[in-house]
């Protein structure tokens, strides 16, 4: 009995095994279109009688080779994560289908310069300080030591970087020490302003006038002469072909499209604006004594000319036969046409005529001076052959940035006797030349009419020169303040006072800039320290926005030649200005 049962059991088991094998071979293939979705990477737990089963993944893994025909771009681990996407977009724009991948790459991105590589991507980062700071520059070593906590600096003790650039900064500067406090973009400026010993770091495109770019190892990102390759605080990636396909793809790209950068020189404009120029009296005598028509500008002119656009506010006319007259209290002023060399050495591109001396030698000479500018190809604003021309703005375009300029004079006088014995007005009329008469409502209307035509509006005004006691002062007088604020609120991106014979306060008002007075440029007031000093305003415009304003300080020497302030003089002047400023 037991043997028969055993034989029957064995036969039963054998038949069941054969049936199971046949069922497995003939099982129908599931319909993929209607089958229930499966996890892409699920593993079924084994039972005691069953091995583990892995369900196949229909999607390619991140490291697998993309489909044939797609170019593969591989980034080395040290490459910033943000570098690959812009390159893929550039390839797509050239009609080349490409994907990020690994393995059999056609193009390779490296964080180090490659022998056969091309700089493909660049992300420039900028140290910044409060607009009210007198700090001019730092060194990379100084920045790195404070960043890591290895050493301290007398210039700053805390660093507030934008949080999205932390990985790039760690790669460039090392591990962040206790003095580093990452900030969201929206709060970074507040953090820097709240800490007098704080320094920020932002991407170049995030610069604003509330924070001023700081020089690093003597270089500045807001300078149009910067060689970006020398800027040390930048994340970079180089691309090199790994296959013939990759080489062919690079050949299809416009060479000018690389590197992909957040600081595109073709979108950048450096604009210089200056204070009072009146090359007469002692200035004229100094020119004659030197035997050099460009004597006044020999030291500072080249730096002014380095800007993309340089504006000079010239208060007085060019008159043939003008005599250098430094008689005490002489207020009838003119310049020889030969003195124009000073403006030429300064790289002048346009002249503001808001000064109240345009008609000092009569209307005919004022018209001749206007014609002189025309012969030189120099546009003028704030003054003209009649009131309509005087109020007309000018628009200067550079690197895609459309900049509008207009100006006016509030001082007058209404009537006075000219050096030719003619009764004239400082203001232009329907039939006479002169400066545009300032009227607050009219000026605001002119600003608002100009604004839709340009990216930025610069309003320039000759206002009250001194207080009720007849003294020049750093703080603006009340009427001046009210008028300038009205123009700012009316839409002027920058309001500049060009009448003051001493530097005056600065105001940041709802994101717009007011410079109440720039002091003297080429003039002869050497009788006091404030009148010897002046501010040259260097604006940087990028991609249609004002992103930085720097105040350079000048000093009129006792021989009446202009020079740049020493570091100590610069700090002295800026502190006096900033102490009276409205931040």
CA distances to 206, 238, 296, 538 from 400, rounded to whole Å, are 19, 28, 33, 19
Q: CA 507 to CA 516: how far, in whole Å?
A: 8
Is residue 3 scored above 80 in pLDDT? Answer: no
For the whole model, what pTM was predicted?
A: 0.86
Picking from 364, 361, 577, the residue whose alpha carbon sits closest to that of residue 476 is: 577
Give residue 470's pLDDT: 66
CB-CB neighbours of 376 under 10 Å = 15
Picking from 457, 462, 438, the residue whose alpha carbon sits closest to that of residue 447 is: 457
Is residue 471 scored above 90 in pLDDT? Answer: no
For 542-552, the pLDDT digits (tens) are 999 999 999 99
In the chain, helix, strand, coil percent, each to 5? 30, 25, 45
CB-CB neighbours of 555 under 10 Å = 21
Give residue 473's pLDDT: 79
What is the β-pairing status of strands 158-161 and 198-203? parallel
CB-CB neighbours of 110 under 10 Å = 19
Asked if 573 and 534 count as a contact pair (C-beta separation under 8 A), the reply is no
Asked if 228 and 125 count as a contact pair (C-beta separation under 8 A), the reply is no
Cα dihedral 256, 262, 268, 271, rounded to 10, equals -160
**How is 525-541 classified by DSSP, letter by letter?**
--SSHHHHEEEEEEEEE
| Minimum mean pLDDT range among 44-48, 84-88, 465-469 | 44-48
Which residues of the chain are in CATH 3.40.190.10 domains? 125-217
Is residue 518 scored above 60 in pLDDT? Answer: yes
Average pLDDT score over residue span 212-220: 98
CB-CB neighbours of 30 under 10 Å = 9
The residues with which 509 forms a beta bridge, in sequence order, are: 512
CB-CB neighbours of 539 under 10 Å = 24
Q: CA 242 to CA 74: how far, in whole Å?
A: 10
For 315-350, the pLDDT digits (tens) are 999 999 999 999 988 999 999 999 999 999 999 999
The domain at 71-120+237-264 falls in which architecture? 3-Layer(aba) Sandwich (3.40)
CATH fold of 266-579: Purple Acid Phosphatase; chain A, domain 2 (3.60.21)
For 126-154, the pLDDT digits (tens) are 999 999 999 999 999 999 999 999 999 99
CA distances to 101, 191, 373, 378, 551 from 311, rounded to whole Å, are 52, 35, 13, 10, 15
Give residue 63's pLDDT: 42
Asked if 19 and 26 count as a contact pair (C-beta separation under 8 A), the reply is no
Which residues of the chain are in CATH 3.60.21.10 domains? 266-579
- Calculate Rg over the CA atoms of the chain: 35
Average pLDDT score over residue span 17-21: 37
Q: How many C-alpha atoms does 103 have within 13 Å on its Cβ side?
A: 10
For 33-54, the pLDDT digits (tens) are 333 333 333 333 333 333 332 3
The residues with which 128 forms a beta bridge, in sequence order, are: 200, 213
The residues with which 311 forms a beta bridge, in sequence order, are: 273, 350
Is residue 571 scored above 80 in pLDDT? Answer: yes
The residues with which 277 forms a beta bridge, in sequence order, are: 314
Is residue 447 scored above 50 in pLDDT? Answer: yes
In our burial notation (b when 16+ CB lie closer than 10 A, e otherwise), range 249-287 reads bbeebeeeebbbbbbbeeebbbbbbbbbbbbbbbbbebb
CATH fold of 125-217: D-Maltodextrin-Binding Protein; domain 2 (3.40.190)
For 51-83, the pLDDT digits (tens) are 332 323 333 333 445 555 899 999 999 999 999
Overall size of the chain counted in residues: 583
């Amino acid at each position: 009995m037991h043997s028969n049962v055993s034989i029957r059991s064995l036969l039963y088991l054998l038949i069941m095994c054969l049936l199971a094998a046949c069922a497995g071979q003939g099982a129908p293939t599931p319909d993929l279109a209607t089958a229930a979705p499966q996890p892409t990477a699920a593993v079924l737990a084994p039972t005691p009688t069953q091995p583990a089963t892995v369900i196949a993944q229909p999607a390619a893994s991140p490291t697998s080779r993309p489909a044939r025909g797609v170019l593969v771009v591989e980034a080395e681990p040290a490459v910033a994560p943000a570098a690959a996407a812009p390159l893929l977009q550039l390839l797509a724009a050239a009609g080349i289908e490409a994907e990020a991948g690994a393995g059999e790459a056609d193009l390779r991105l490296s964080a180090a310069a490659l022998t056969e590589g091309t700089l493909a991507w660049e992300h420039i980062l900028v140290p910044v300080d409060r607009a009210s700071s007198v700090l001019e520059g730092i060194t990379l070593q100084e920045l790195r030591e404070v960043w890591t906590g290895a050493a301290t600096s007398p210039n700053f003790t805390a660093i507030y970087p934008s949080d999205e650039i932390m990985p790039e900064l760690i790669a460039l500067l090392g591990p962040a020490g206790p003095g580093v406090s990452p900030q969201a973009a929206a709060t970074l400026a507040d953090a820097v302003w709240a800490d007098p010993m704080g320094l920020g770091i932002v991407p170049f495109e995030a610069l604003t006038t509330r924070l001023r770019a700081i020089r690093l190892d003597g270089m500045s990102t807001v300078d149009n002469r910067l060689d970006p390759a020398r800027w040390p605080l930048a994340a970079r990636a180089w691309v090199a072909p790994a296959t013939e396909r990759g080489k062919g793809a690079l050949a299809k790209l416009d060479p000018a499209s690389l590197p992909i950068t957040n600081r595109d020189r073709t979108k950048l404009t450096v604009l210089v604006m200056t204070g009072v120029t009146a090359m007469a009296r002692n200035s004229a005598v100094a020119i004659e004594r030197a035997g050099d028509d460009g004597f006044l500008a020999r030291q500072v002119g080249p730096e002014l000319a380095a800007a993309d656009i340089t504006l000079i506010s010239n208060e007085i006319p060019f008159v043939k036969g003008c005599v250098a007259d430094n008689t005490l209290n002489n207020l009838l002023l003119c310049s020889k046409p030969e003195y124009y060399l000073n403006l030429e050495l300064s790289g002048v591109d346009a002249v503001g005529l808001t000064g109240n001396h345009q008609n000092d030698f009569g209307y005919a000479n004022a018209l001749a001076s206007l014609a002189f500018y025309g012969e030189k190809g120099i546009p003028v604003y704030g003054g003209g052959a009649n009131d309509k021309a005087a109020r007309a703005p000018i628009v200067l375009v550079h690197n895609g940035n459309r900049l509008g300029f207009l100006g006016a004079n509030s001082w007058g006088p209404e009537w006075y006797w000219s050096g030719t014995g003619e009764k004239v007005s400082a203001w232009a009329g329907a039939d006479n030349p002169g400066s545009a008469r300032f009227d607050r409502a009219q000026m605001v209307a002119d600003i608002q009419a100009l604004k839709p035509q340009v990216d930025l509006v610069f309003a320039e005004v000759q206002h009250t020169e001194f207080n009720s006691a007849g003294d020049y002062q750093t703080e603006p007088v009340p009427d001046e303040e009210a008028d300038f604020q009205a123009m700012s609120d009316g839409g002027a991106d920058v309001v500049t006072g060009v009448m003051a014979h001493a530097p005056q306060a600065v105001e940041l008002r709802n994101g717009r800039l007011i410079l109440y007075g720039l002091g003297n440029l080429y003039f002869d007031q050497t009788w006091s320290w404030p009148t010897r000093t002046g501010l040259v305003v260097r604006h940087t415009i990028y991609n249609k926005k004002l992103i930085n304003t720097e105040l350079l300080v000048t000093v009129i020497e006792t021989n009446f030649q202009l020079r740049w302030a020493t570091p100590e003089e610069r700090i002295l002047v800026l502190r006096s200005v900033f102490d009276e400023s409205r931040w």
